[in-house]
Amino acid sequence: MVDRQADSGSNDKVSTRLNFTANPDSLKRGYTCPVNGQKGKIVQNQTVKSLLAVSLRLVKEVEHFYCSSAECPVVYFSADGSSLFTVNDVREKVYHKEATNPEVLVCYCFRFSLGNLKSGSAEQRATIISEIKQGILESQCACDLRNPEGSCCLGNVSKLVKQFNAGN
């Protein structure tokens, strides 16, 4: 957390709303990270709640965005400025924040790390992609809850596999 006070009220309304509808105006404006100015990617509040390691009293029912910049410690921020969560506030290492750490997960549902992809052969990497695709088909993924980005990990995995197979 950065520069905010914990909510100490004991009668705060707790939201159980899991459906998410983005405010079309915020999508048009493209909210930017208050620390680095980079455009954030909108994420569901359930994603934020499931990945935070702080009191959920700090999560307001406002739109939250994901900052993917490796140079910025912010993971989530709210459009209205009421919330700002950093790498120290989340339960998992965040791939975009630690893209050189071999232990960081790239696939959070099936637990494939950067090291798995980097050290594997082209055949092993293809098997990883096949396993992820099969898991998706069998409804075994929960990227909306497990991936800090709030979306499917397969794109990040595929991009890295192409990069590593090309020898970069």
pLDDT digit string, tens, across residues 57-93: 999 999 999 999 999 999 999 988 889 999 999 999 9
* Residues contacting 110, CB < 8 A, separation 6+: 131, 132, 135, 140, 141
Average pLDDT over residues 146-157: 95
Enter the pTM of the model: 0.79
Tell me the helices (H) and strands (E) count for the chain, helix number first.
6, 6
The pLDDT of residue 167 is 85
Q: Which of 40, 46, 50 is nearest to 84 (CA)?
A: 40
Residue ranges and CATH numbers for the domains of the chain are 24-89 (2.20.25.270), 98-165 (no CATH)
Taking the C-alpha atoms of residue 93 and residue 116, their distance in angstroms, rounded to an integer, is 15
| % of the chain beyond a pLDDT of 90 | 76
CA distances for 10 relative to 4, 6, 14, 154, angstroms: 18, 12, 10, 41
Q: Which of 100, 73, 103, 105 is nearest to 89 (CA)?
A: 73
pLDDT digit string, tens, across residues 87-127: 999 999 999 999 999 999 999 999 999 999 999 999 999 99
- Contact assessment for residue 94 and residue 148, using Cβ atoms and an 8 Å cutoff: yes
